[in-house]
Structure 1
């Protein structure tokens, strides 16, 4: 599901992901679009891809935001029926979560 999601998102110079996204098909798709994959290689890969650790450390900020969003029960359980309402709640909760910290 990563490729359909990324195809509608705005292009970025880097894609930061975890080991679950270490697939050759995704890496080739990103390379075709001149997007640098900052994804650590899985332990089963014989020749690991190089990893820019300085950029990969920025993933921590995103992970902490998701952890704070999980504290909002309505977002964690997705009570809203419509995607637009859910997106509005996520935006509101993310704003408040970052503001309060």
Structure 2
């Protein structure tokens, strides 16, 4: 399992107050492959590039609307993978999107939900990104790899 943290203090300021985004990559069996932490005020698609090299090649990459970017689309296609990301409502051009396979994107939600059963992960008590990332990796190890 690979873990990458942003700055030393990951919590950023968003509309709701301080928060941390957990960007995760998992396989199709809900097992985490990699984590990346950012502040809540950082855009999703700018940080997705940190996880894309760790994604398996020649597969299908599912993502939510926050990961719509021409740069991400090019990186995924260069790796020989397919992308299945729904278009934003504001986009005039609608990429080809298949809703039925997109349901498998729920594995990320289930994985994060299972990790957030640990109170330390759900409430994000740690102010230091390194400590929070360590707690996240420990919870993932206990849930999925032991």
TM-score by length of 1: 0.76
**1:21 maps onto 2:21 in alignment:** no
- CA 1:78–1:61: 2 relative to 1, 3 Å: same
- CA 1:38–1:65: 2 relative to 1, 3 Å: same
Gaps of 5+ in 2: 1-46
Aligned residue number for residue 86 of structure 2: 40
Aligned residue number for residue 22 of structure 2: none
Q: Deviations over 1:49-80 (max 9, x none)?
A: 01122210111232123123222112232657
Aligned residues: 96
- CA 1:86–1:52: 2 relative to 1, 3 Å: same
Which entry has the higher C-alpha Rg, 1 or 2? 1
**Contact in 1 for aligned 2:62/2:105 (Cα 8 Å):** yes
Gaps of 5+ in 1: 97-101
More helix by share: 1
* Rounded Cα–Cα distance in structure 1 between residues aligned with 2:132 and 2:96: 41
Higher relative contact order (CA 8 A, sep 6+): 2
- Runs of 4 or more consecutive aligned structure 1 residues displaced over 2 Å after TM superposition: 8-12, 78-86, 93-96
More strand by share: 2
Q: CA RMSD in A?
A: 2.5
